[in-house]
């Protein structure tokens, strides 16, 4: 029997039901045609039912972020690092939303349509607050009332989870992403996952700072320096990496593993906005209540 | 014995350094915080399942690489043969990147198997390329380095394509020794033992191989058979290490050198001492990176640290490299000469204009191929024109820079990419990123220009020494390249915003080109190439050598310096625009000469036109082959230029 709390099909379905309950509106009444290079903005736009016509790396987005669904007709602009501006042009957007990550593209894109920038990851600022601001601003710009509802509903839900987790074991949580069997990436207090932990009243086991763009990989042996924590494994990770890790003596000897304090959740975009935060919170709630109920 | 003692000193010093640093590591290793009972248990686990297996794997991997290096060097009769220089490591990395990212069906297959397959494939290609020459040592080594370059550029393309998912490829590519149990040791140790046993059995044929081919054959050694089995053994050893801990750069080069430095003379002695030296060097490097890193983390991945050894070692070993007489890439005397070069030049210019018109209008769309005319043309122009101008300008400047380098060094194989001048720009960029955090494009350009200039001056100094053949210069260039790229990859392994900038630079994407890039390309092209046509006298005389040039009354040093600064500036700006790997600077002057432009000013003009044409075509291809996704143009051009360089080296036997 695996020591890791794996999600069964049923629990994934129920988590999906929670997400669906957030009443994602459809883009039937087509608003302005919008395009974006940034995945965090893409998931925000999809979640509030905006009329998205073009976005980057959709194949990868469907595998990593998974939700919200990307409608079939959305044009794929290619890699985030090298978006295809001609495809963007052919998509005829009325508005392009961009973030500070791809600011270099603003002058080129402003020839196609007005560009509005909404940063979500900035050094020293809370990505959750920035994501809230961006969601509200975009909602207002596109006249999607769903944006305001999403912000309020998620805040309320995180409050509910706070009460739920207050009845838990009070241990800190370490959200990690496996790179290979010997390295992982950690999400500090300045990451979206770190923000969610703070808002649901859980302590982040990782107290060091993480740089806002990407985290230098940590050696797996550093897991031993956080013996009290719950380990939350966030995919995507190479399948063989997880299998090799689960077999190793070191992993089996970790207190968290011996005491069944490892949660494997579904794949989440690590640089997401509110939909990613919501997904992470739901996975946590689902995982912890499952553990408690046996 | 008087001669024996001084040689034992370095060996003893190395041994003592290893013991001291390991003792320090044990004493100062970080401890697990928290409740004492749990902490003690975890500390013990860390000691027995992480620190000790890591020390063991460093010793084993170092020994295996040292042995593999010694074997490769013996069998190829080439002191610079190594897993890094033969493409084994890069081939293995490429296979892993492919397997991890693009072929989900392969996820069931272990990464070890993938690495084996990649390493063997790379070596098979290298051997196939040099088969006609009877696995000539020099051809093997150079083919290996070019295959390595191509594999590395493909890997970078794939890494970029995967985005964040490539974290593990990063770590793996840089060769980290972190362990969390003994499984790595258990899988690698028997392979090392088997390798040592096989090497012992092959010792006699190895000794015979130290003689030249005909003597070896007359002594009854089946030449190809023995060489092949030793090669397979060495590849197997290095691929095992690469699969287990990643790329450990140039250790196979360092270990035998160290062994000889410590007094090993005969084949048997080197075979015994090289694994020991390799183990000691890797062990020491690994202890140091753990000691110097904060807390539990390392300062740099161990593999990236050892790669820094590669460049200086290659330069140090160059005087020992023999056997260059077989391959010469010198200009064919019988090259035809155009009767009307001016008319041919106008023809070239017309061809460039037609290419320009085509790439500006022809492209796939979501509804299939289309020719953009009328309003659509003016709509797409702001996106197509800057990148075409940037690519064309960069290609033209690379062509001119390659032409200058071939003239100044008197060497037909010189070019910005081959001489490591482009990579020097990368090292300059890395330094600029460190000093300024997020530097402006102007500072980035300046850093790259200074780096390029430094690299080119080193190369001129090397080329100036007598008796340096074309290939030797090429190897020196690869040494500079390796050193600069080691600096770049140490920063790449940090995985922060700087590494993203460096990755983008390495891939050389014109996709971001806007007005700034287009104007930079056009203005610098005019400003930097126009003076060249006034320096034709220098460019005619300098290839004749320092002595002749001086006797004709040319002031050699100032003229060389001016040309070097111009070439370095052109290289830096074009590598800023299209990355360091394009190889356009090699191809363009060659094609110009092959077509029949023999007079320097004709050749220069033709090289500029051809360079522009090649990169404009490459840019167009890079955005249509996997539409709407795009391949960075620099990498795409390298995929064209690499095989050309191989063909150039291999094809010369016809005229030899």
Q: Could you read off the pLDDT of B417-435 as tens digits, one per residue?
A: 878 888 899 999 988 888 8
Cα B30 from Cα B293, distance rounded (Å): 11
Q: End of a domain among B273, B288, B320? A: B320
Interface test with B, best of A76, A93, A96, A221 (most B CBs within 10 A): A221
Residues 13-42 of B with CB under 8 A from A: 30, 32-35, 38-39, 41-42
Cα A81 from Cα B21, distance rounded (Å): 43
Residue A208 lies in a domain: yes
- Picking from B32, B110, B178, the nearest residue to A225 by CB comes out as B32
B110 touches chain A (CB under 8 A): yes
Inter-chain CB proximity B42 and A211 less than 8 Å = no
pLDDT at residue A214 in the model: 42
- Could you give the number of structural domains in chain A? 2
CATH at residue A136:
3.40.50.1980
Residue B284 lies in a domain: yes
pLDDT at residue B634 in the model: 75
Inter-chain CB proximity A255 and B164 less than 8 Å = no
- Same domain for A147 and A171, yes or no, is no
- Same domain for B361 and B303, yes or no, is no
Quote the Cα angle for A134-A140-A142, to 5°.
100
pLDDT at residue B328 in the model: 41
- Same domain for A125 and A215, yes or no, is no
Query: B273: domain range?
Result: 7-320
- Same domain for B455 and B398, yes or no, is yes
- Same domain for A82 and A190, yes or no, is no
User: Scanning every residue of chain B, which has its alpha carbon at the shortest distance from the alpha carbon of A73?
Assistant: B366
B180: which 2 tokens? 């969390």
- Same domain for B350 and B314, yes or no, is no
- Same domain for A255 and A221, yes or no, is yes
A36: which 2 tokens? 């974006």
Cα B114 from Cα B91, distance rounded (Å): 10
- Same domain for B272 and B408, yes or no, is no
Inter-chain CB proximity B182 and A220 less than 8 Å = no
Query: A241: domain range?
Result: 9-14+167-292
Residues of B within 8 A of A224 (CB-CB) are: 32, 42, 45-46
Please report the ipTM that was assigned to this predicted complex: 0.75
pLDDT at residue B367 in the model: 74
Number of residue pairs across A and B with CB atoms under 8 Å? 175
Q: End of a domain among A152, A186, A205? A: A152
Gap from A148 CA to chain B (nearest CA, Å): 30
Inter-chain CB proximity B34 and A228 less than 8 Å = yes
pLDDT at residue A70 in the model: 93
Inter-chain CB proximity A183 and B168 less than 8 Å = yes
Gap from A271 CA to chain B (nearest CA, Å): 10
Residue A226 lies in a domain: yes
**DSSP structure string for B292-354:** HSSTTS-SS-HHHHHHHHHHHHHHHHGGG---GGG---PPPTT----S-HHHHHHHHHHHHHH
Cα B541 from Cα B193, distance rounded (Å): 58
Residue B1 lies in a domain: no
Residues 502-561 of B with CB under 8 A from A: 504, 509, 511-512, 514-515
Rounded mean pLDDT, B629-654: 70
**How much of chain A is in helix, strand and coil states, percent to nearest 5?**
45, 15, 40
- Same domain for A183 and A229, yes or no, is yes
Interface test with A, best of B299, B372, B496, B629 (most A CBs within 10 A): B629
At residue A100, the 3 state secondary structure works out as helix
pLDDT at residue B3 in the model: 44
Binned at pLDDT 50, 70 and 90, residue B551 comes out as confident
- Picking from B49, B108, B380, the nearest residue to A86 by CB comes out as B380
- Picking from A81, A85, A108, the nearest residue to B504 by CB comes out as A81
Gap from B296 CA to chain A (nearest CA, Å): 6
> B368-408 pLDDT, tens per residue?
787 877 788 888 888 889 999 999 999 999 999 999 988 88
User: Does residue B471 have a pLDDT over 70?
Assistant: no
Residue B334 lies in a domain: no
Residue B624, H or E segment: helix B600-624
Residues 156-185 of A with CB under 8 A from B: 177, 179-183, 185
- Same domain for A103 and A59, yes or no, is yes
- Same domain for A142 and A177, yes or no, is no
**DSSP structure string for B629-642:** S---HHHHHHHHHH
Residue A181 lies in a domain: yes
B629 touches chain A (CB under 8 A): yes
> What is the residue-averaged pLDDT of chain B?
79
Binned at pLDDT 50, 70 and 90, residue B506 comes out as confident
Residue B325 lies in a domain: no
Whether the bond into A236 is cis, omega within 30 of 0: yes
Residues 237-276 of A with CB under 8 A from B: 238-241, 244-245, 247-251, 253-255, 270-271
At residue B617, the 3 state secondary structure works out as helix
A76 touches chain B (CB under 8 A): yes
Gap from A213 CA to chain B (nearest CA, Å): 6
Between A24-28, A214-218, B358-362, B486-490, the lowest mean confidence (pLDDT) is in: A24-28
User: Scanning every residue of chain B, which has its alpha carbon at the shortest distance from the alpha carbon of A179?
Assistant: B168
Q: End of a domain among A152, A178, A212? A: A152
Residues of B within 8 A of A78 (CB-CB) are: 628-630
Binned at pLDDT 50, 70 and 90, residue B127 comes out as confident
User: Scanning every residue of chain A, which has its alpha carbon at the shortest distance from the alpha carbon of B380?
Assistant: A86
pLDDT at residue B232 in the model: 82
- Same domain for A142 and A195, yes or no, is no
Between A160-164, B131-135, B159-163, the lowest mean confidence (pLDDT) is in: B159-163
A230 touches chain B (CB under 8 A): no
- Same domain for B509 and B635, yes or no, is yes
Residues of A within 8 A of B506 (CB-CB) are: none
Gap from A131 CA to chain B (nearest CA, Å): 20
- Same domain for A187 and A133, yes or no, is no
User: Tokens 């946590």 — which residue?
Assistant: A284
Cα B11 from Cα B4, distance rounded (Å): 12
Rounded mean pLDDT, B94-122: 71
Predicted TM-score of the model (pTM): 0.79
Residue B333 lies in a domain: no
At residue B365, the 3 state secondary structure works out as strand
Q: Rounded to the nearest 5°, which phi and psi values hold at B211?
A: -80, 175
CATH at residue B233:
1.10.3470.10
**A104 DSSP 8-state letter:** G
Residue A113 lies in a domain: yes
- Picking from A177, A213, A218, the nearest residue to B297 by CB comes out as A218
Q: Torsion angle, CA of A186/A191/A196/A197, rounded to 10 degrees?
A: 40
- Picking from B100, B366, B382, the nearest residue to A238 by CB comes out as B100
B252: which 2 tokens? 């196979």
- Could you give the number of structural domains in chain B? 2
Between B41-45, B126-130, B222-226, B613-617, the lowest mean confidence (pLDDT) is in: B222-226
- Same domain for A194 and A125, yes or no, is no
- Same domain for B348 and B268, yes or no, is no
- Same domain for B137 and B196, yes or no, is yes
Residues 81-110 of A with CB under 8 A from B: 81-87, 89-90, 104-105, 107-108
- Same domain for A30 and A148, yes or no, is yes
User: Scanning every residue of chain B, which has its alpha carbon at the shortest distance from the alpha carbon of A255?
Assistant: B38
A209: which 2 tokens? 């700072």
- Picking from A238, A250, A271, the nearest residue to B50 by CB comes out as A250
User: Scanning every residue of chain B, which has its alpha carbon at the shortest distance from the alpha carbon of A229?
Assistant: B34
Rounded mean pLDDT, B624-643: 77
- Picking from B108, B172, B494, the nearest residue to A216 by CB comes out as B494
- Picking from A75, A80, A224, the nearest residue to B42 by CB comes out as A224
Residue B326 lies in a domain: no
Cα B69 from Cα B130, distance rounded (Å): 19
Helices (H), B102-202: 111-131, 137-162, 167-174, 183-201
Cα B380 from Cα B364, distance rounded (Å): 13
Q: End of a domain among B274, B290, B320? A: B320
Residue B454, C-beta contacts closer than 8 angstroms, at least 6 positions apart: B424, B428
Q: End of a domain among A152, A176, A191? A: A152
Inter-chain CB proximity A219 and B167 less than 8 Å = no
Inter-chain CB proximity B496 and A81 less than 8 Å = no
Between B284-293, B393-402, B621-630, the lowest mean confidence (pLDDT) is in: B621-630
Cα B352 from Cα B395, distance rounded (Å): 12
Residue A20 lies in a domain: no
- Same domain for B23 and B70, yes or no, is yes
Inter-chain CB proximity B42 and A214 less than 8 Å = no
- Same domain for B399 and B525, yes or no, is yes
- pLDDT 10s per residue in chain A (294 long)? 344 444 444 444 444 444 444 444 444 457 899 999 999 999 999 999 999 999 998 888 888 888 889 998 899 998 887 888 989 998 999 999 999 878 888 888 998 999 999 998 887 788 999 999 999 999 999 999 999 999 999 999 999 999 988 888 889 999 988 877 777 888 888 888 989 999 999 998 887 655 444 455 677 778 888 888 999 999 887 777 787 788 877 888 888 888 889 998 999 988 899 999 999 999 999 998 887 776
- Same domain for B72 and B217, yes or no, is yes
CA distances from A164 to A18, A201, A278, A282 (A): 16, 10, 16, 12
- Same domain for B433 and B580, yes or no, is yes
Q: Rounded to the nearest 5°, which phi and psi values hold at B323?
A: 90, 20
Residues of B within 8 A of A109 (CB-CB) are: none
- Same domain for B256 and B368, yes or no, is no
- Select the more confidently predicted residue: B217 or B288: B288
Gap from A160 CA to chain B (nearest CA, Å): 31
- Same domain for A192 and A277, yes or no, is yes
Residue A157 lies in a domain: no
Residue B323, C-beta contacts closer than 8 angstroms, at least 6 positions apart: B77, B78, B136, B137, B138
Residue B453, H or E segment: helix B441-464
Interface test with B, best of A53, A179, A186, A271 (most B CBs within 10 A): A179
Q: Rounded to the nearest 5°, which phi and psi values hold at B422?
A: -65, -40
């Amino acid at each position: 029997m695996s020591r890791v709390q794996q999600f069964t099909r049923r629990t994934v379905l129920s988590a999906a039901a929670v997400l669906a309950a957030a009443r994602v509106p459809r883009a039937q009444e087509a608003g302005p045609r919008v395009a974006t290079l940034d995945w965090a903005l893409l998931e925000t736009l999809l979640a509030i039912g905006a009329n998205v016509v073009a976005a980057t790396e959709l194949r990868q987005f469907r595998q990593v972020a998974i939700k919200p669904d990307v409608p079939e007709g959305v044009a794929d602009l290619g890699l985030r690092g090298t978006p295809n501006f001609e495809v963007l042009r052919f998509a005829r957007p009325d508005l392009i939303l961009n973030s500070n990550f791809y600011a270099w593209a603003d002058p080129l894109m402003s020839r196609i349509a007005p560009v509005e920038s909404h940063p979500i990851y900035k050094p020293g600022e809370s990505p959750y607050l920035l994501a809230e601001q961006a969601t509200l601003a975009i909602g207002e710009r596109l006249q999607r009332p769903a944006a305001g509802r999403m912000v309020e509903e998620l805040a309320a839900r995180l409050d509910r989870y706070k009460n739920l987790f207050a009845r838990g074991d009070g241990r800190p949580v370490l959200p990690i992403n496996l790179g290979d069997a010997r390295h992982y990436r950690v999400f500090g207090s300045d990451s979206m996952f770190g923000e969610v932990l703070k808002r649901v009243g859980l302590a982040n086991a990782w107290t060091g700072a993480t740089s806002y763009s990407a985290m230098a990989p940590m050696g797996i042996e550093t897991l031993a320096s956080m013996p009290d924590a719950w380990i939350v494994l966030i995919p995507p990770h190479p399948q063989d990496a997880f299998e090799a890790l689960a077999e190793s003596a070191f992993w089996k000897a970790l207190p968290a593993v011996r005491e069944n304090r490892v949660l494997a959740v579904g794949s989440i975009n690590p640089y997401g906005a509110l939909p990613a935060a919501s997904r992470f919170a739901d996975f946590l709630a689902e995982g912890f209540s499952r553990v408690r109920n046996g | 014995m008087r001669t024996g003692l001084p040689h034992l000193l370095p060996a003893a010093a190395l041994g003592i350094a290893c013991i001291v640093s390991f003792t320090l590591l044990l004493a100062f290793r970080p401890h697990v915080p928290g409740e004492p009972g749990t902490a003690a248990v975890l500390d013990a686990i860390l000691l027995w399942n992480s620190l000790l297996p890591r020390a063991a794997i460093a010793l084993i991997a170092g020994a295996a690489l040292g042995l593999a290096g010694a074997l490769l060097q013996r069998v190829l009769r080439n002191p610079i043969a190594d897993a890094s220089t033969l493409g084994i490591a890069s081939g293995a990395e490429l296979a892993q990147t492919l397997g991890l990212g693009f072929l989900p069906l392969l996820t069931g297959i272990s990464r070890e198997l993938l690495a084996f397959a990649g390493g063997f494939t790379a070596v098979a290609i290298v051997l196939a390329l040099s088969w006609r020459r009877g696995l000539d040592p020099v051809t093997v080594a150079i083919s290996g380095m070019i295959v390595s370059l191509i594999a590395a550029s493909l890997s970078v393309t794939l890494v970029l394509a995967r985005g964040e998912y490539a974290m593990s490829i990063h770590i793996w590519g840089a060769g980290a020794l972190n362990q969390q149990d003994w499984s790595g040791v258990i899988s690698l140790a028997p392979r090392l033992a088997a390798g040592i046993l096989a090497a012992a059995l092959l010792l006699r044929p190895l000794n015979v191989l130290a003689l030249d081919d005909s003597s070896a054959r007359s002594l009854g050694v089946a030449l190809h058979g023995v060489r092949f089995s030793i090669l397979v053994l060495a590849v197997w050893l290095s691929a095992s290490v690469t699969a287990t801990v990643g790329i450990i750069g140039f250790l196979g080069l360092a270990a035998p050198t160290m062994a000889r430095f410590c007094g090993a003379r005969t084949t048997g002695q080197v075979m015994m001492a090289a694994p020991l030296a390799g183990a000691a060097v890797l062990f020491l490097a690994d202890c140091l990176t753990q000691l110097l890193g904060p807390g539990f983390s390392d300062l740099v991945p161990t593999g990236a640290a050892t790669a820094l050894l590669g460049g200086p070692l290659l330069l140090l070993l160059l005087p020992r490299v023999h056997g260059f007489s077989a391959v010469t890439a010198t200009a064919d005397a019988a090259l035809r000469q155009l009767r009307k070069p001016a008319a041919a030049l106008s023809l070239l210019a017309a061809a460039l204009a037609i290419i320009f018109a085509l790439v500006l209008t022809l492209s796939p769309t979501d509804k299939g191929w289309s020719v953009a005319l009328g309003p659509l043309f003016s709509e797409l122009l702001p996106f197509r024109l800057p990148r075409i101008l940037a690519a064309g300008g960069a290609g033209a400047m690379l062509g001119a820079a390659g032409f200058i380098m071939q003239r100044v060094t008197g060497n037909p194989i010189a070019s910005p990419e081959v001489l490591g001048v482009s990579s020097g720009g990368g090292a300059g960029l890395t330094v600029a990123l460190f000093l300024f955090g997020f530097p402006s494009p102007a500072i980035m350009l300046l850093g790259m220009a200074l780096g390029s200039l430094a690299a080119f001056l080193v190369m001129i100094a090397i080329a100036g020494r007598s008796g340096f053949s074309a290939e030797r210069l090429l190897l020196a260039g690869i040494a500079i390249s390796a050193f600069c790229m080691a600096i770049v990859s140490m920063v790449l392994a940090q995985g922060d915003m700087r590494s993203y900038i460096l990755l983008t630079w390495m891939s050389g994407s014109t996709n971001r080109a806007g007005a700034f890039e287009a104007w930079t390309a056009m203005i610098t092209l005019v400003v930097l190439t126009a003076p060249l046509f006034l320096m034709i006298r220098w460019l005619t005389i300098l290839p004749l050598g320092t002595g002749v040039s001086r006797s004709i009354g040319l002031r050699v040093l100032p003229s060389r310096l001016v040309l070097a600064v111009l070439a370095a500036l052109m290289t830096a700006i074009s590598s800023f625009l299209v990355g360091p790997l394009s190889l356009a600077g090699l191809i363009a002057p060659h094609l110009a000469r092959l077509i029949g432009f023999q007079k320097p000013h004709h050749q220069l003009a033709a090289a500029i036109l051809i360079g522009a044409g090649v990169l404009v075509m490459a840019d167009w291809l890079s955005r249509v082959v996997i539409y709407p996704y795009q391949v960075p143009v620099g990498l795409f051009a390298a995929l064209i230029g690499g095989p050309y360089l191989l063909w150039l080296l291999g094809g010369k036997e016809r005229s030899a």
